[in-house]
Structure 1
Amino acid sequence: MMFLNKRRVSFGTMFNDLQPSLDAIYQCTEPQPISGVHMIQAIYDMCTARPQPFTLPLFTALAHYIEERAHHSLMEIVNSDSPLQTYAQQWSQYSVASQYLDAMCGYLNKRLQKITDASNSTSSPHTLQSILDPASSTTTYHVGMASSPNPVNENSFSPEPCSEYATYGDRSMVAGRRTHYIADVLTLTRFAWRVHVLDAIRDGWENLLINHAFEIVTRVRKGVTADYSLVRNFVESLCIIDPLGVSSQSWYVVEFKTPYLVRLAHYCQRRSQELFESLDITAFMEQTITLLNQEITNGERFCHSSTLPDIVSACERSLLGPFATQLRTVFTAAITTERRHQCALAYTLLSRMPTEIGPVVTVYEQHVVDCGRELRRECSTTDFPALRTLVSQLIILHEKHTHMVQTTFQGDQAFFDALDKAFHAIVNEYRNGTTTNPNSDSPASSSSGSSGVKVAKAFYAPELLARYCDGAILRRSARVVLQTKDLVQRINQVTNLFKYIDDKDIFQKIYARLLARRLIFAQSASLDTEAMVISRLKSICGIEYTSKLQQMLTDVTTSEALNDAYQHQAAIEPTTVDPQDRVPIRVMMLTARAWPLDGQQHPTFRLPTELTASLQSITEFYHSQHSGRRIQWLWPYSRAVVKLGYLDKRYEVNLSLFQLAILLQFQTIDRCTVSNLLEATQLTWQELNHALGGLTTVGLLKGPPTNAEFSKTTMIHLNSEYSSRRQKVKIPMASLPDNSSEVETDTKTIQEDRRLYLQSVMVRIMKTRKRLTHAELVQDVVRAAKARFQPSVPLIKKCIEHLLGKEYIERDIHNRDVYLYVV
């Protein structure tokens, strides 16, 4: 039980009674039970004694006691055959005991803190050396060990602290050039250990501990078995006892870290020179990496964690600095010859030297560009199958170097950036080696550079990649169908190349046409695949880029629902149309603005009467579902399936609506002239020629001799002897617009779209910013349009002038280089 009343006590007697417990804590006597309450009560009584508290005398007495304990440990260490091992034992015992003592002296610590706070403003700081060093102490008061023949004599103690005690009352200690104040008993014990153990061994025993520690480090480097934990424990104690921690003036930094780094640098320089002179370059790099890793591991074992960056820096300077030029030369040669192992070794070393890795990254970028150009040179034709092979080779090249960067170059972002720049140059470059010219207003010729050289448009990346995607997604026969994972992989591969295209708006136009063809004629592998491609494009270019493509997929889905609803209603509800006259029909209702289709090409086409009733029925049903919408039929994109019953064998023919209109003319007659067919179908001459060509090629109709052209007087006969091995016959359809020259035919449209897009971007920017200089506006426009195409500065200037003329923006009257938004 603790008694908190203040009372008169005899300091000498009470401290003598306390000393056996202190000895037991520090294990100077045989182990015996220690009463913590007794010690706490004694310390409390001395700190609250009447009439004069013994706070400072108690602290001073403890200081002298701890000094003798530290001196006892010093003797044990210096007289040992294994100084570091004995040091570890003594320090462990001393540090644990000091923590217990500090816990017992909790009230003393509080009293000392109050005294310090009250006296700091009036007392000049004094140092601790005079109290902890017996040679400089002049007090007659002594505190001995448990076996000391001179116990404390309370009669020789004055209640008023003498000058020496007063200096200790400030509890300050000097370390280097800074003065640190002792805040508690634990700090006192650590300072005593530093002064009477570490400093004493350094000054009086030729730095015995440090030398022994470095001997262990040397043995470990030579591969000799050694207990490195002794060095680690020693280093940890250095960082604990010093109030400066691991700062530049701490005991650890001055006495251990700095010599360690000097010895490390000398060792690495000597060892690397030996390796370079005795090994080939590959083995040298391997051994250097091993040595570097070993020294980093040693640093983690022996040193404080804060020292590791300095160790790494010292190793890099000593091991790599003298051989940086040789390593860079080897790295460059290994990249051009694609020796992966040497590249990995050289990268591991040079990546630690930022100034040296930069030129190598440039070499790698040029190497990838050269590989891509070599693939283009090897492609000697402009036929699409050969170009498709070129795209596959570029995909393989991209995957190869992506894997190389991830593994050989450890995913270094600088090499990823170099790879992106290289493929940007490859994808936007033609076979003749000219690069993309962003200053050209013509998208079709933007890749021909400013030289005006005419190049093969088949190498134009937007069109080529769009057609490659089309070939990957097209529905195939069961024998060549791609697995889902293979299809997903191919789509991911081609979209990885797509992100490098500058003219993404041209890709969008071409891809939209090809997507429309696949969806209308049910040639797509699956709608899920189409949605996946659009999702990938959206992740690269944004939702605005794919809005029309997404609407096309939505139209297909809603059209399926419309047809199902129509079939259901036709089965249960009576209509004004005779069921005998109604032909099964399915329609696709497409959003006009989303689909790249021409609906005004055949306004005079005469629909066969056999289809009129069905078309009228579904039109009425659609208007009942969506009132107020105008339907415009796209006849060139319509197909039909007809069963032939006039032959010996029944055939199912898949043909275009125009071809069906021609074939139905022969239900009652066996022959007629081309002129009669023109009159009956109201087709244009070109479309009639195309449709007849398909029918005569298959053999359903007989026309002029092979390679002869149709004329209005040409007689067309129904082939009643037609035969085929296949029961289902598909007639080729050539009535759709030819997509082979879209880049040329759409040039004006794309230019106009770009102008409108840039103008809208400028208006949005100016509406937000209100006031911009010309340079700032150009930069913001380029940044905003980058996801669709690379706008040229002349085109941007034209758009600015147009907006000035339309009074969307105006020039500042005080500064003509500044534009203001007009509200």
Structure 2
Amino acid sequence: MVEIIELEQGWSVMQVGVRKLTRILEGEPESPFEAEAYMRLYTTSYNMCIQKPPNDYSQDLYDRYRKVFEDYSKQTVLPALKGKHDEYMLKEFALRWANNKVMVRWLSRFFCYIDRYYVARRSLSSLTDVGLICFRDLVYTELQSSAKDSVLALIHKEREGEQIDRALLKNVIDIYVQNGMQTMEKYEADLEKFLLQDSTSYYSRKASSWIQEYSCPEYMVKAEECLKKEKERVAYYLHASTEPKLVAIVQAELLVAVAKQLLEKEHSGCSALLRDDKMDDLSRMYRLYEPIPKGLEPVADAFKNHITAEGNALIKQAEDAAASGGVQEQVLFRSIIELHDKYMVYVKECFLRHSLFFKALKEAFEIFCNKKVGASSSAELLAAFCDNLLRKGSLGAEKLSEDAVDKMLENAVQLLAYICDKDLFAEFYRKKLARRLLFDRKDNEGQPEKNVLAKLKEVYGLQFTSKMEGMLTDMTLSKELKDNFGTHLIKHTLRQVGYDFTVTVLTTGFWPSYKTSDINLPSEMVNGIETFKAFYDEDHKHRRLMWIYSLGTCHVNGRFDSKPVELVVSTYQTAVLLLFNNSDRLTFQEIVEQLNLSPEDVTRLLLSLSCAKYKILKKEPVSKTISKDDSFEFNSKFTDKMRRIKIPLPPVDERKKIVEDVDKDRRYAIDAALVRIMKSRKVLPHQQLVSECVELLSKMFKPDIKMIKKRIEDLITRDYLMRDSDNPNTFKYIA
């Protein structure tokens, strides 16, 4: 028969173990628990719980277990904490918490059977939780507020540079975490909330002081150090969940709140750092503001404004130069390219290729790269810059290597991305390409020209370069044609021209349009033309040759009294000079009638031959202008130290015609875009149609809204579109 253990009898045995444990925790002399003593306590508890009712004392033991912790907290722990303050109180608080956890661990072993069966069946708090709850309700609730104040005071000391006991802080902060009973409620409500408030006040005060005291780089070093130390603080003793909140406060108070003052600081702000090439400081600025939502926007704005100011200064210098002596596009675009290269390095190295800074760089360059310099647009100047590089291979007086020229041209193509009027550039470039191909002695239809077109084609597509590529193809074919024509003349000696005669055959659609006229050419020149025409018609019967005499160049021997001089002149100038082989003196009107040219064209020719540097003809009366009453004769007394001279025609400003041609092409492009959009959409409101048209065309040029509206009206009159009868601001496509 098993002996029944009564409650008081059994509890007296359990109390022996409880007293022994509390004496050990209080540091009093006591031997450690031996296995035999531990087993006696466990067995007593076990037997008291497995007895049949009314002798099952599970609930009584559970209640007395709780009372052990309550009595210990009231009679031992709270008195030990009473009267202690600051760090001493924190040490005692941490010790008592550690003791409580030890006590829970040992007593829950003694009463293990209750935990495993009774607690589980009744859905009661576990023995471990009972011990923690008693400490929380009796000790933590009493001490947490004063402990919080002491913790914040120690953190403040550490922020001010003093050494503190970090291990103690970690132990105390763990009390807040663990008393949340698997939640962060206690930590967040009783400590973290006040820590964050205190941190906000602290860093707000520091920001107000430091922004006045330190330069921008010094301030950023301070801010970066604060962020680093707060992260270390979390790693050493705060809970990990506090880090993003604490970092956000430091960022908000030290960086966001003073961003405008910091970035615009005189002599040391963002603009000054860019001006003085302070790449390390700019990298630090990026590191500090990048993690902040929208934190980089003011930095990117400052970056954009600085580049825009520098670019505008270059444009102003170019305008001043234009006012005093003409636009120097080589100097301007070399400076712009250097500016672009410089700040692209900043984007890549300081700002780690962040899209916001690529956008800022793009927008800044778009602002000043689209400004006019004098009467010239940026598109025209960039075309002239490329033309100069391809013709001379130099920038001003500096001769460039082939690789340097290629790199400079690549940079020029890159700058084109920032220019709105890309179609205008294409037309100016095509015009200058034509002159290079037709008049320059360099082999410009070779690799350099092809390299530029390949770069343009890669970026802007085949349509952008198709005409220019056709021009290069024409020049290649013309070389073959020249050789074949030479062979033809050798075979047919009866049809010899009597002088060197070469023809360049161009495809009408590829080349710019040129002025033509029905000039009465001298018989010698007509003979050459007829000979070539007969040769060309043999292989190309279905093609029609249209002669552009204005592009021709002739080498004429001038027999002067002192010595013969070879004159390099245009076809029209040649026709004028050859008239004097048959007449000693001719009036202006006679020249007009014999050549069958307009008076304006004849005036320009006679200016070049009688009023310019080389006076091949003598004019009466002598003056610097041509009138209808003038008469001319060959100047046999003309002399020059050179044996060959080139007599240029007065320059003609082609800018107006090119711009007019581009405007005409733009009207066609807008019409095509509008029809394409409406064909796919069928019905669109006015505003959406305009915006989609702008978006579609903006890759080549920025269409004028007024022009789009005019083209819409024109398409309505031509029955491509119609207005909706119910809503006049909505258009319908007419299939």
SS in 2 for 1:604: coil
The answer to whether the aligner puts 1:425 opposite 2:367 as a matched pair is: yes
Pairing partner for 2:269 from 334, 340, 347: 334
Query: Who is 1:638 aligned against?
Result: 552
Matched, 1:659 2:557: no
Match of 1:517 in 2: 435
| Structure 2 partner of 1:789 | 701
Alignment counterpart, residue 473 of structure 1, candidates 379, 390, 403: 390
Q: Which consecutive unaligned segments of at least 5 residues does structure 1 have?
A: 1-128, 142-161, 175-191, 207-214, 236-241, 243-247, 432-455
- When residues 199 and 811 of structure 1 are mapped into structure 2, their CA distance, relative to the original with a 3 A threshold, is same
Show the counterpart of 2:76. Answer: none
Give 3-state SS (helix, strand or coil) of 2:544's partner: coil
Matched with 2:215 is 281
The equivalent of 1:562 in structure 2 is: 481
Cα deviation, 1:479-512, whole Å, max 9, x if unaligned, reads 8543223323433444444333333333333333
- Aligned runs of 1:224-623 on 2, under 5 Å? 280-282=214-216, 283-293=218-228, 312-313=247-248, 315-317=250-252, 319-320=254-255, 323-324=258-259, 326-330=261-265, 334-337=269-272, 338-341=275-278, 345-354=284-293, 357-359=296-298, 361-378=300-317, 379-380=319-320, 381-382=322-323, 385-388=326-329, 389-429=331-371, 458-475=375-392, 481-522=399-440, 526-527=444-445, 528-539=447-458, 541-567=460-486, 569-570=487-488, 575-576=491-492, 578=494, 580-581=496-497, 583-599=499-515, 601-609=516-524, 612-613=527-528, 615-623=529-537
Aligned match of 2:94:
none
- State the Cα deviation string for residues 567-604 of structure 1 (Å, max 9, x = none): 4x437xx75552643543332222213322224x3223
Query: Where do 1:690-709 residues align within 5 Å?
Result: 690-696=604-610, 701-704=616-619, 707=623, 709=625
Deviation of 1:520 (Å): 1.6
Q: Give the match's secondary structure for 2:323.
A: coil
The separation in 2 between residues aligned to 1:391 and 1:140, in whole angstroms, is 85
Following superposition, the deviation at residue 519 of structure 1 comes to 1.9
- Looking at structure 2, the residues matched to 393 and 592 of structure 1 have their Cα atoms a distance apart, in angstroms, of 38
Q: Give, in angstroms, the shift of residue 716 of structure 1.
A: 1.9
User: SS of the counterpart of 2:464?
Assistant: coil
Query: Does the 8 A contact of 1:474 with 1:525 survive in 2?
Result: no
**Which residue pairs with 1:773 in the alignment?**
685
Deviations 1:625-664 (A, max 9, x none): 4441211010010112356688887755432222333444
* C-alpha separation in 2, matches of 1:304 and 1:536: 57
Distance (Å, rounded) in 2 between the aligned partners of 1:459 and 1:598: 22
Match of 2:91 in 1: none
**For 1:46-85, what aligned pairs fall within 5 Å after superposition?**
none
Structure 1 residues 676-706: Cα deviation after superposition (integer angstroms, max 9, x where no partner): 6556544444444444444455658341376
How far residue 772 of structure 1 moved from its aligned partner, in angstroms, is: 1.8
- Choose between structure 1 and 2 for higher RCO, CA contacts under 8 A separated by at least 6 residues: 1
Return the letter of the residue paired with 1:423. F
Aligned residue number for residue 668 of structure 2? 756
Residue 195 of structure 1, CA deviation: 10
CA contact (8 A) 2:220 2:285 kept: yes
Deviation at 1:765, TM superposition (A): 1.1
Distance 1:536 1:134, change over 3 A: same
* Partner Cα separation in structure 2 for residue 730 and residue 227 of structure 1: 92
- d(CA) in 2 for partners of 1:220, 1:277: 15
Task: Normalising by structure 1, report the TM-score.
Answer: 0.59
Query: 2 CA distance for matches of 1:565 and 1:306?
Result: 86
Q: Which structure carries more helix by proportion?
A: 2
Tell me what 2:14 maps to. Answer: none
CA distance in 2, matches of 1:414, 1:465: 27
CA 1:775 to 1:556, structure 2 compared with 1: closer, same or farther past 3 Å? same
1:368–1:422 Cα contact (<8 Å) kept:
yes
Read off the aligned partner of 2:549 and give its amino acid letter: W
Q: Distance in 2 between matches of 1:463 and 1:678?
A: 35
For 2:717, the equivalent position in structure 1 comes to: 805
Structure 1 residues 344 and 525, CA gap change in structure 2 (3 angstroms) = farther
**Cα separation, 2, equivalents of 1:626 and 1:249:** 98
The answer as to whether partners of 2:618 and 2:633 remain within 8 angstroms in 1 is yes
CA distance, structure 2, for counterparts of residue 364 and residue 139 of structure 1? 71
Residue 701 to residue 281, structure 1, CA distance change in 2 (3 Å) = closer
Residue 344 to residue 268, structure 1, CA distance change in 2 (3 Å):
farther
| Equivalent pair of 2:393/2:402 in contact (CA under 8 Å) | no
Tell me if structure 2 keeps the 8 A contact 1:691–1:733: no
Q: What secondary structure, in the 3-state scheme, does the structure 1 residue paired with 2:518 have?
A: coil
Letter in 2 for 1:287: K
> Residue deviations 1:524-577, cap 9 Å, x none?
67333333444444455443333333332332233233334444x437xx7555
- The farther-off stretch of 587-596 and 340-349 is 340-349
**Which one-letter code corresponds to 1:555 in the other structure?**
D
User: Quick one: distance in 2 between partners of 1:671 and 1:819?
Assistant: 71
* Distance in 1 separating the partners of 2:406 and 2:517: 39
1:63-96 Cα distance to aligned partner (Å, 9 max, x none)? xxxxxxxxxxxxxxxxxxxxxxxxxxxxxxxxxx
Question: Normalized against structure 2, the TM-score is what?
Answer: 0.65
Give me the whole-angstrom Cα distance separating, in 2, the residues matched to 1:417 and 1:818: 35
Identify the residue that residue 61 of structure 2 maps to in structure 1: none
Residues 584 and 633, structure 2, Cα contact 8 Å, conserved in 1? yes
Residues 281, 476 of structure 1: CA spacing in aligned structure 2 closer, same or farther, 3 A cutoff? Answer: closer
1 CA distance for matches of 2:285 and 2:115?
A: 71
Report the CA distance shift for 1:195/1:586 in structure 2 as closer, same or farther (over 3 A).
farther
The 3 A distance-change label for structure 1 pair 137 and 492 is same
Deviations 1:214-247 (A, max 9, x none): x9xx9999899x999xx9xxx9xxxxxx9xxxxx
**Number of equivalences:** 606
Distance 1:284 1:195 in 2: 49
RMSD over aligned Cα atoms:
5.6
Q: Distance in 1 between matches of 2:721 and 2:543?
A: 38
CA contact under 8 A between 2:263 and 2:302: conserved in structure 1?
no
Q: Which amino acid aligns with 1:284?
A: Y
* Structure 2 residue aligned with 1:91: none
For residues 700 and 657 of structure 1, the distance between their equivalents in structure 2, rounded to whole angstroms, comes to: 18
CA distance in 1, matches of 2:214, 2:591: 85
For 1:460, the aligned partner's letter is S
Residue type at the aligned position of 1:461? S
User: What is the CA-CA distance between 1:776 and the residue it aligns to?
Assistant: 1.7
Work out the CA distance in 2 between the residues paired with 1:771 and 1:709. Answer: 62
Counterpart of 1:733?
A: 648
Residue type matched to 2:691 in 1?
A: Q
For 1:332-360, what per-residue CA distance to the aligned partner results, in whole angstroms no more than 9, with x for missing partners?
Answer: 97245445546555554344444565455
SS at match of 1:382: helix
State the AA in 1 paired with 2:248.
S
Q: Which residue is 1:155 aligned to?
A: none
CA contact (8 A) 2:722 2:734 kept: yes
Shift of 1:764: 1.0
> Which runs of 5 or more residues in structure 2 are unaligned?
1-103, 141-153
